[in-house]
Amino acid sequence: MNKKVAIFDSSLRDGAQAEGISFSVEDKLKLLELFDEHGIGYIEAGNPGSNPKDLEFFARAKTIQLKQARLTAFGSTRRRDVRVEQDSNVQSLLLADTPVIAIFGKSWDFHVTDIIGTTLDENLAMIRETLAFFKARGKEVVYDAEHFFDGYKNNPDYAVRTLRAAVEGGADTLVLCDTNGGTFPSEVATIVAHIAGLFETPLGIHAHNDCGMAVANSVAAVENGARHVQGTYIGFGERCGNANLSTIIANLGVKRGYECLPPNQYRHITRVARHVAAISNVALSERMPYVGSSAFAHKGGMHIDGVNKAARSFEHIDPEQVGGQRRFLMSEVSGRRMILDKIWEVDPAITKDDPVTDRIMKRLKEMEHEGYQFEGAESSFELIVLKHLGKYRSFFDLVHFRIIGEQPAEGEYSASAIIKIKVDGKDEITAAEGDGPVHALDRALRKALETFYPELANAHLTDYKVRVINGKDATAAKVRVLLQSSDGDAVWTTIGVSTDIIEASWLALVDSIEYKLLKIRG
């Protein structure tokens, strides 16, 4: 059985249509090279005729020598009652000068008659003639059968006829699209198996996540004959998103033995997912399968004990297979052994009877009484251990900071911060604006520190959480701030607690930056 599955990433086009996503040309070029290095087979990047940004992207992409991926331009069939040679949208796709063209056409008779307002026969001609146009110009053509599953369930004969028209036009791959994201895996399995028996042309799957089943539908399609999977790398896209390729690649490649990536690339799945999130300026969900920070995190004592004895007792794969890391969470159910394990990660020579162990545990209890909680903030805990072991050094001292908040005019920042720090006896004072006081303070601090530590330029905050600890005290309540940071490769979380939300944020921010510097400079 053929176990090779072509991966078709649409983050640059379908993913860019997600709410909150806005790629610059530089962002798209970075993702192009990242996916190519990762071994993604096809990278779909839009239509040069749709907007100036895509036109510039394709012009600059021509100068990049891709190692493995085939860059793909995306567009629709010709318009109704227009000759294909005269259709401006079709002609614009040639400007991309890509080896592959992805064309979508209508498979649902309802869409043909009621949405684009043409006849069923004209729609078949639109599909056939558009694909033939590009095949005649030496292009590999991927045909996306839009709304295929809805169309098949409503009128299976016509849905199949649209695929035959695509084959007659020269389609290299027939992609069955669950455009509305409402099909169930059992339906996908049955329909794909049937279609696979009708055509020799390779089949693909393009699933949306409106029912939370895009990954399951993609896997079901592959298990029933599809050998081409479309999606976005971390699942963002219109509405509820597209099929999450990082999950699909791990499911198929690591657990089912399909060839989705070069063999040495599966261990980079987590790293690539974090880079995609960083470039896209989105927070990677902690609970995302395989790549989320909680994917291999254990909290309960019985779970931790089981994993220590035999990892497979509570883990379905070895985290290292996808570049993940096992984590044991600090919590009230973790116990003394959990704390010792954390200490040993910093200094294996420390024994449970060493006086420093008692000092660390005493300090932890004091801080937990103050409102600290180190579950999910292991980086701050590691700093505490380093301080007690004499292995910590401060990289800067705060002289003072001032924050100014205001009601901004539309489109302007709402706060500014002025900060003065001292590094090795040298003063640095700077200012920055931000969307709120914490954002302004973060930007000002990094701006000041990058003068001394340029490696901080690639580190940034990815998440900010505030929890009120004693709500009965109303506005005088103590708050706990958790900051998640990333440099594109690693992710770390730090904590601060105070009755002043700015101070709590500052404490977590200082820990975040010093943790990064300790990892780099020791």
Exposure string for 378-407, b = 16+ CB within 10 A, e = fewer: bbbbbbbbbebbeeeeebbeeeebebeeee
Q: 271, 489 in Cβ contact below 8 A?
A: yes
Q: Has this prediction a pTM greater than 0.85? A: no
Separation of CA 264 from chain center: 20
The b/e string for 446-467 (b: 16+ C-beta within 10 A; e otherwise) is: bbbbeeebeebeebbbbbbeee
Non-local (6+) Cβ contacts of 466 within 8 A are: 479, 480, 481, 501, 504
Q: Identify the residue whose tokens are 């990677």.
A: 284
**Pick from 192, 140, 145: nearest CA to 170:** 140
Helix ranges (DSSP H) in 84-119: 88-93, 109-110
Q: What is the pLDDT of residues 369-422, one digit of tens each?
A: 888 877 667 788 888 888 888 888 889 999 999 998 876 666 677 889 999 999
d(CA 316, CA 508): 33
Q: What is the pLDDT of residue 333?
A: 47
* Bridging pattern class, strands 228-231 and 100-106: unpaired
Q: In Å, how far from its chain's centre is CA 375?
A: 23
Angle among Cα 204, 207, 212 to the nearest 5 degrees reads 145
The H-or-E segment that residue 508 falls in is helix 501-521
Q: In this structure, which amino acid lies at residue 309? A: K
| Alpha-carbon span 91 to 7, nearest angstrom | 27
Rounded to whole angstroms, the Cα distance separating 242 from 218 reads: 10
Q: Which pLDDT score is estimated for 297?
A: 81
How many C-beta neighbours within 10 Å does residue 271 have?
A: 18
CB of 183 closer than 8 Å to CB of 218: no
Which listed CATH number (3.20.20.70, 1.20.120.420, 3.20.20.140, 3.30.200.20) goes with 6-280?
Answer: 3.20.20.70
Cβ contact 36:43 at 8 Å:
yes
3-state secondary structure of 75: strand
- The residues spanned by each domain of the chain are 6-280
Helix, strand, coil shares of the chain as percentages rounded to 5? 45, 20, 35
Contact by Cβ (8 Å): 102, 13 = no
The pLDDT of residue 434 is 87
Mind spelling out the 3-state secondary structure of 54-71? HHHHHHHHCCCCCCCCEE
- Give the residue from 214, 162, 225, 145 showing the smallest Cα distance to 191: 225
DSSP 480-500: EEEEEEE-SS-EEEEEEEESS
Which residue type is seen at 239? R
pLDDT in tens, 300-342: 666 666 776 777 888 899 999 999 887 766 654 455 666 777 7
The stretches in the chain having pLDDT less than 50 are 332-333
**Structure confidence at residue 373 (pLDDT):** 77
Tokens encoding 296: 């291999």
DSSP string, 135-158: HTTT-EEEEEEETHHHHHHH-HHH
The token pair at 245 is 């390729």
